[in-house]
Amino acid sequence: MKAMNGAQSLVRTLLAGGIDTCFANPGTSEMHFVAALDQVPGMRCVLCLFEGVATGAADGYARMTGKPAATLLHLGPGLANGLANLHNARKAQVPLVNIVGDHAIYHLYEEAPLTSDVAGFARPVSHWVRSSKAATEVSADGAAAIAAAKSNGGQVATLILPANTAWEEANAAVAVTPAPAPRPLVEDRAVAPIVEVLRSKEAAVLFLGGAGLSERGLHAAGRVAAKTNVRLLAPTSNARIARGVGRVPIPTLPYPLQEAIENLKDVRHLILAGSQRPVAYFAYPGKPAFATPVDCQIHTLVKPEEDVVEALERLAHALDAKSAPHLAQKRLRAEKLSGPMTPESFAAVIAQMIPDQAIVADESLSFGRGLLPATSNSAPHDWLQLTGGAIGIGLPLATGAALACPDRKVMCLQADGSGMYTLQSLWTHAREGLDIVTLILANRTYATLRGELVNVGVTNPGPNALAMLDLHKPILDWTSLAEGMGVEASRAEDTEGLMFQLEKALGRHGPSLIEVVI
């Protein structure tokens, strides 16, 4: 077999391990990997103009396919630029393989300008980190990275590729990626106590996360609820929820701590199914860390890394829960809406205009908190959320989802302030011809932080504090920003205008953006 270098062996290994998509922002140290994309056919490489777009897109891709994509990042600073959305990916529990170029091993001792602790940057957002020591080891290292990414239901794996290991001659053989171990099954002894709790008739919540929010997981949970009247609830933010007509509806725990406390105040048993005990996003003076009552008992049916769906189905079987679950039945009637733009009118427009089998990437934040209740009876769709609290995920998430599912329309609901973190995504939308309709909620302020000022006890902020939350002077012109990156754009200032612009955008294929003035 013809000799190949380390970069070529890595591309071959990624393809053999089922990774055929790479979101890239390469630099000098990655040029041999870039060259290998021509020498080894089969890898779709998507250029992103900022590393946070690449890592967020890889997250969105994994959420929709269930398999990892790769990212290609440039040394420590390039990886650091992508850390926020790697944090979100880790919280979403998705499989992802980072390929991070580094200086040649012998050059690391010279303290060149870009020399940094790449592994140190990677560890807080990665479950697995390794730096290749020789070109002959790159293929095996790549196979190990893929195996790590596919383990425990989805992990972030980071492989550091020193430049000399990419250009030096590698082994001709490609390492085989071992099949991932199946998710562990819960033991019967974990199910039996939950059956007793549910038969006690005391107020209980089945708190579903991860695959428990898939259509199959929700169907099993719905059977349990129909049999026992346990209340179904999801965490505030989730990687993916199957929603709409024909699916079991499930509310999410409110984001504001006081509302979450009120939601759970009468609960005596909280049953964790692929989720964790709900903790406040932040600590507040004089307020509790957890939303559950102090006398609420916490039970674990199944851990996030275990087989959540199987556990829910076994619970339903143990309860002899044969009756059909309650499904969202009646689809919303299409009607013309008009009037000023309010959270309620915006939610009503989205609710009736979500296309069949659409994917919704939601980073609407404060203005969009009424969206989930309003869209329960929309057309069947998948809803993707910000999982780790690091803003700037919406546009990249939509990018990855659209590349994963080119036959499905993607709607991106994006707050304007957080959208500015990764607006470079729009260029990739145009370059790749992605079928994404982006709605920018332009309130021209960090509205969530205005609420947080009150939450931490600042009731009378002064002009300096308020200036830190204001996006006027100058106003962000999203239509110009989008058009400057090749995306067709328009503006809607009332509900009727939004319906008109959205109907037009949904009726065509390709990227478009609507700036919704709120």
Query: 138 near 165, Cβ under 8 Å?
Result: yes
- What tens digit of pLDDT does each residue of 425-436 get? 999 999 999 999
Cβ atoms 167, 136 nearer than 8 A: no
Identify residue 8 by its one-letter amino acid code.
Answer: Q
| 3-state SS class at 306 | coil
* 92 vs 90: CA distance, rounded Å: 5
Tell me how far apart the alpha carbons of residues 428 and 406 are, in angstroms, rounded to a whole number.
Answer: 14
Residues (pLDDT < 50) of the chain are none
Q: Which CATH architecture has domain 188-318?
A: 3-Layer(aba) Sandwich (3.40)
Q: Classify residue 110 by its DSSP letter.
A: G
| Cα 504 from Cα 3, distance rounded (Å) | 54
Per residue in 358-416, pLDDT tens? 999 999 988 888 999 999 999 999 999 999 999 999 999 999 999 999 999 999 999 99
> Distance between CA atoms of 381 and 64, rounded to whole angstroms?
12
Contacts of 28 (CB under 8 A, 6+ apart): 74, 101, 163
Q: What residue segments make up the domains of the chain, in order of their start?
A: 4-170, 188-318, 343-517
pLDDT value of position 1:
55
**What pairs with residue 169 in β-bridges?**
5
CATH architecture of 4-170: 3-Layer(aba) Sandwich (3.40)
Both tokens of 470, joined, read 């204001």
Tokens of 400: 């990855």
pLDDT at 2 (0 to 100) = 67
Order of strands across the sheet with 512-517? 241-243, 381-385, 358-363, 410-415, 436-442, 512-517, 488-492
- Confirm whether 188-318 and 343-517 share one CATH topology: yes
In 180-290, which ranges are continuous DSSP H helix?
188-199, 215-228, 257-264
CA-atom Rg of the chain in angstroms: 24
The Cα 341–Cα 246 span in angstroms is: 30
Cα(377)–Cα(381) distance, integer angstroms: 10
Task: At 376, list the tokens.
Answer: 């329960």
Q: Can you give the pLDDT at residue 144?
A: 97
Q: Measured between alpha carbons, how far is 79 from 117 in angstroms, rounded to an integer?
A: 11
pTM score, two decimals? 0.95
For the range 36-40, what are the long-range contacts, defined as Cβ-Cβ under 8 Å and sequence gap of 24 or more? 36/5, 36/7, 36/8, 36/10, 36/11, 37/11, 39/4, 39/8, 39/11, 40/8, 40/11, 40/12, 40/15
Please state, in angstroms and rounded to a whole number, the distance separating the CA atoms of residues 86 and 94.
10
| CATH class name, domain 343-517 | alpha beta
Over residues 303-356, the pLDDT tens digits come to: 999 999 999 999 999 999 988 888 877 777 778 889 999 999 999 999 999 999
Q: What is the model's pLDDT at position 454?
A: 75
Alpha-carbon torsion 253, 254, 256, 262, what sign?
negative
